[in-house]
Amino acid sequence: MANTEGSKLWGGRFLGDTDPLMEKFNASIAYDQRMWSADIRGSKAYVKALEKAKLVTTEEMNQILQGLDQISVEWSKGVFVIKPEDEDIHTANERRLKELISAPAGKLHTGRSRNDQVVTDMRLWLRDAISTLTDNALQLMSTMVERAAAEIDVLFPGYTHMQRAQPIRWSHWILSHAVALSRDVDRLLEIKKRVNVLPLGSGAIAGTPFDIDRELLRKELEFDGISLNSMDATGQRDFVAEFLFWASLCLTHLSKMAEDLMLYSTKEFSFVSLSDAYSTGSSLMPQKKNADSLELIRSKAGRVFGNCAGFMMTLKGLPSSYNKDLQEDKEAMFDCYDTVHAVLQVTTGVMSTLKINQSVMEAALSPDMLATDLAYYLVRKGVPFREAHGISGKAVFAAESKNIALNQLTVGDLSAVSPLFGSDVSSVWDYRSSVEQYSAPGGTAKSSVTAQVEHLRTWLQQHTQ
């Protein structure tokens, strides 16, 4: 059993040993050790502020900095030894520092609480994580945009309510998901601004009684601003909640795309074929090629939702300032990062390697999908759209009654529905002409889709500079 006195950052007030079960229950070192670099960066900045405040000598500062550098090397090489009494990453690093430089290590925590230390570590860690996820998302977007540009001439059915709706370009479908991803990137960069606020120097709750230069800390750690209120700085986790929600929404978008691709890859559709690199087989049925990459992308959305909802439930009942409940923030944050990081990379792999079956896609287009075009034909002859819509519906009914395709109705059949139908109605039954009429910005005409591609290329250039 660990002896409380001397091995804990909080041990002086307690007598006897902590129950081993409580030791394990209370410890976070198993997962917060991944913040080792952020913890060392924060401590190196803080000791410089202590030296400026004359709370440590220049010699002591240099000893502490050298010790922290040694600890960083040990972590980097994977040789840092975690001991049973290391409750968390802060305890572990400070314990090791004391082993290396003895007494001066005890001055590092002057005026600092684990309350402001841990949230500083988290903000530093998440700031770097957001940069990585932004790069991942931009890579996926670039893959999608370039694929859309290369396959712009491919037509296939667009669906609403899971029913064939109108002919569209395959590229239009790809870009619909790329645009959603661009919003995810914008949101993530907005969150990063709120993450990048310095809490260090807030102490446990009331601030610091020492002349700690928080502006020095801000510059050393490259934060954009300094927290305004010490109680809020140490007790709020809005930035974590925002990140968890962001992850949930981002994976909602990718789950939707994965669901479409799963359907398109089935034998019933056969629009696309996944690369073997992103598929698996069956242990029983040799013929099976399962889209497990897409299924897992879809499932990971549920995992992230759970992290977000669970953490919000933790937050909603807390009183002001820091409470140990907030220890739950890190596992949720780490797991969401790991999950989204993997999903973005796998989705990029899927989108860069899947093959489309153009002939099957275009063969799936059917004349009934041009019923709206039939209504537009009448609109161009002066018929109000609501009336034209009804006439087109009657034409659809007439074709169904005869058990023939809509384009097999004769001019006589159509004239019986409306005398405005003439021989030129045959121009309606052309899928490429159909998509080309949607040339307004945002539409599925080639000129419009090309404009979307160029817009997103420019957007990507601006975000990768």
- What is the rounded distance in angstroms from the CA atom of residue 371 to the CA atom of residue 431? 12
Which of 76, 102, 282, 433 is the catalytic position?
Answer: 282
Residue 299 falls in the annotated catalytic set: no
- What is the rounded distance in angstroms from the CA atom of residue 435 to the CA atom of residue 413? 25
Residue 282 falls in the annotated catalytic set: yes
Confirm if 157 and 165 have CB atoms less than 8 A apart: yes
> Hey, which residues does 272 pair with through a beta bridge?
356
Contacts 24+ apart (CB under 8 A), 215-223: 216/45, 216/48, 216/49, 216/52, 217/45, 217/46, 217/49, 220/44, 220/45, 220/48, 220/49, 221/41, 221/42, 221/45, 221/120, 221/124, 223/123, 223/196, 223/197, 223/198
Which of 161, 283, 401, 423 is the catalytic position?
Answer: 161
Q: Kindly provide the b/e burial profile for residues 111-136, where b requires at least 16 CB atoms within 10 angstroms of the residue's own CB.
A: bbbbbbbbbbbbbbbbbebbeebbeb
- What is the rounded distance in angstroms from the CA atom of residue 331 to the CA atom of residue 326? 10
Which residues are known catalytic residues? Answer: 161, 282
